[in-house]
Structure 1
Amino acid sequence: MALSVGSTAPDFTLTTLGANGPELFKLSEHIGTSSILLLFVPMAFTGVCSTELCDLSKNINAYNSLNAKVVGISGDNPFAQKAWAEKESITLQLLSDYDHKVTEAYGIAYESFLPAKNLIMGGVPKRSAFIIDKAGIIQYAEVLESPGDLPDFTAIQAKLKELA
């Protein structure tokens, strides 16, 4: 079951590729400095995931003005994420949940991803959005069953404005 509003956000450490190579992103090191928007996406190089993160990259100033750190998380390896970001001009920091432990901790893993299309990969994250406040508490949680649906970014921005 997915985490809900009012829950303490589970801490995690994930790999990201920075300008100088692999780096670690530890959630608890960012708690207290700003609101954090975690965007889980099923897979790199897919249409809806690319649209979502490209649109966010183009509008990142709206989130920066609300004192929000925005990161994307998928189960792809960090080298694939970097290639995806370069190909699609995604400027958000992408975190690799390669072993799906964070997806499981947040309760958002598909048991079987798109079984109707014979994709039976378990552990793929459902498209989800979580806003974590400066105290480390989840203030917004949206988990979508259909990978083709996008989070409600109007509601996300409204919550971030409330927390700013």
Structure 2
Amino acid sequence: MAGERQARVADRIRVVLAERLEKGLRDPRLGFVTITDVRVTGDLQHASVFYTVMGDEAHRNDTAAALKSATGMLRSEVGKNLNTRLTPTLEFILDAIPENADHISALLREARERDESVAGLAASASYAGDADPYVKPREHDDLDDDEDEDDAQGEEVRDDRA
């Protein structure tokens, strides 16, 4: 039950913060911010707010400073819109999802290129031994034919399994 409530509170905090940031803060340092996730502790006392910022490292640093200075105002906004006894403290954490996604995309692209080069080598490769690597059926020996004829003449073949 606590997990469901945590999820509902986290979703509500995310919506309230996103709406407030969409309206805008009066801080020129604030860049284009997207709230990606909110995680709330079990006792609903602390909320970790993950965000991403479009731009370079300077924009990220300016946005982090703007969010840190606006934390009190944003917390009071959350408190007004949240029906809990206590308003959770807010901690803003820069989300590394875009950088991780770019890194994973680069790794997948590199793996695809290697697969294509290996497929090209495999197409032009030839077998190391015979063209047909599978075992060919044995030729019948004269001894095998004699045993088969004895079985056909009516000799009993014993089965010791019974």
What TM-score does the superposition give when structure 2 sets the normalisation length?
Answer: 0.25
Bigger Cα Rg: 2
Structure number with the higher strand fraction is: 1
